[in-house]
Amino acid sequence: MAERIDHPCVQHKLAIIRDTETGHKRFRELATEITMFICYEALKNVRTKQVTVQTPLAEAPCRKIDTDLVVVPILRAGIGMLDGILELVPTARVGFVGLYRDETTKQPVTYYERFPPQIRGGTCIVIDPMLATGGSTVAAIDRLKEGGADSIVVVCIVTCPEGIERVEAAHPDVTIYAAAIDERLDDNKYIVPGLGDAGDRLFGTSH
């Protein structure tokens, strides 16, 4: 299942981050801000527990998050969204997965993986600005499930029907949260209209 976050503040920031005139400094800031908004929604069903706290006047019944949260950026572009989640949930743990596409098989290959043990029993948040073909996202979820994870959500800024369909086919239990569901992939597997190469725009490495 995919859920588009249609909040006016998200859509306003999305318009700016898409703009080709937006430089890498502002692009990074916007990626952080948009990620925070999307994560509010992505964590709406996270497990909580009842607690009682003492205010200056009386005891108050409250709720606190009752699960470990593990953020898993897909390298490299996913790093650009990490601060947004850690601003929202500073106690979250962080895992990493690095993937590249084999030029012969066209399949994603894991070159780096490091997950905290809390993926078992916790809630994992896979982050990547662009969910395009879905290959890297499916591979990251595969690796998490092989490590024992059973509660996973995906947070991205922009996706498209092709990527959503691939993730849903492989992992129907995983919900995708995005600021935009764009039209399609082009022949080079870029999302259209998209926002270009997110990694290059985040880190200022485009020519």
Catalytic residues: 101, 105, 197, 200
Q: β-strand 175-178 against 2-4: which pairing, if any? A: parallel
Tokens of 92: 């979250």
User: Could you report how far apart the first and last alpha carbons of the chain are, in Å?
Assistant: 36
Cα 161 to Cα 182: distance, rounded to the nearest angstrom: 7
